[in-house]
Structure 1
C-alpha cells in the first residue's frame, strides 16, 4: 500500500474509533470536531440523523437519559443502558485522495450492527465523518468469509488484507 493511502486510512480509522470512545461521545465539542457539517447517518433503527441530532443524542446517552430507541446507531437497544462498544472486521478503503470508506461490525450489549462510514478530508478541517449507516445483524451471523480480524477499540484497530491496488489494509498500514 502506498504510504499516503495508509496515512489516509489510518486517520479515518482513528476518527471512527474516537467516536466509539465514551469520553469523546460525552463531549459535544469533540463529537462536532469529528462530524462533517453535512453529516448524515441512517441509524440501525432506520432513523435519519444529522450532526446536531447526533450531538444531542450522544449527550443524553452519556448522561444516562437516552430514551426508547437509543441513540445514534441504536446499539444500546430500546431504552437499554449504554455499554462499551467494540468494533471488529474493520476494513478501510481509500476511494479517492480525500475519501475513505470504512466497514466494520459493532457490538454493544450483545447487539451486532454492520457499519459503513465515509470519511472526507477538507483543507483546514482535517478528516471528518461525512456519512454513516448501521444495519442490525443476527448475533449468530458470521458475515462474509474473511480472514479473522482482532477486535478494535478506541486504543487500536484491526482490518482486512490489502486489495491488489493496495488501498485496503490494517489501521496501522501493515499487511496482516
Structure 2
C-alpha cells in the first residue's frame, strides 16, 4: 500500500478567526470554538500515526446525492475536508482544466495541494461516473498500478459542490 501524503489542508488563521467570530455573533453558545493554530512543531506532534486516520470514511453515493446543487452552474465552496471511499475506477487520467479549482482553493487560503492537471472517472453506483480531479503524482502512479474497472480505496479532498455533485481532488489510492 502506498503511503499517503503527510500534508493536510488547513484554512488560514484569518479564516479560522473569522469563523470563530461568526459563531460568537450568531449565538452558537454550545458549539466548540475553533482551536487556535498551533506552531508547526506542535501540529506535527499531534498528527495521527496513521495518515489515513485523518480521512473520514464516506459513502460516495450518498455524498454525491447530498452535494448536488439545485441551480445549474451554482458552486458552493467551503473548507476542504479529507474523505476516503471505495469505488471503481471508471476512467484513467485525462487532461482537465483546473482554473476554477485553483481559484476555489485560493479563496480558502490553500496553497499546497500539489500539481493538479488531470481528472479520472469514478463509478460510485450512480447513473453515470463522477469526474474527479487527481493530483499529478497520484495520476502517474494510478497509470502504472491500476486499470479501469478496478475497485480501489480513494483518498481525496472534498473542495466544493456543484450540480453534478462533489468536486473531489484525489491525492492517493490503495488496492
Task: State if a TM-score over 0.5 links the two structures.
Answer: no
| The structure with more radius of gyration | 2
Q: TM-score under structure 2 normalisation?
A: 0.26
TM-score normalized by structure 1?
Answer: 0.26
The structure where helix makes up a greater share of residues is: 2
